Amino acid sequence: MTFHWIDGFTVNVAIDGNSVVISANKEGLLSLANHLQSLAEEPAPRAHFHLDEYNSLEDGSAALIVEKI
């Protein structure tokens, strides 16, 4: 699976009660869209991607795991 981050991206994930809030600038949203498309096209079952503050998200972000079923 190939992920492409657009220069200048900013993505933050927060938990607000029972909600997950993803806040991103234009570059971040386009980058996430690319990630989702790559995941959708992945032939392997249970393929996923995992992002956190140590892997591309802003400091203090909650972890984000997206899995294809």
As a whole number of angstroms, the distance between CA 42 and CA 27 comes to 23
Whole-prediction pTM: 0.90
Which pLDDT belongs to residue 1? 76
Q: Is the pLDDT of residue 12 over 90?
A: yes
Q: 14 CB contacts (<8 Å, ≥6 apart)?
A: 20, 21, 23, 61, 62
Structure confidence by residue, pLDDT tens digits, 21-52: 999 999 999 999 999 999 999 998 899 999 99
User: Are 32 and 64 spatial neighbours (Cβ–Cβ below 8 Å)?
Assistant: no
Mean pLDDT of 51-58: 95
Q: What is the mean pLDDT of the chain?
A: 95
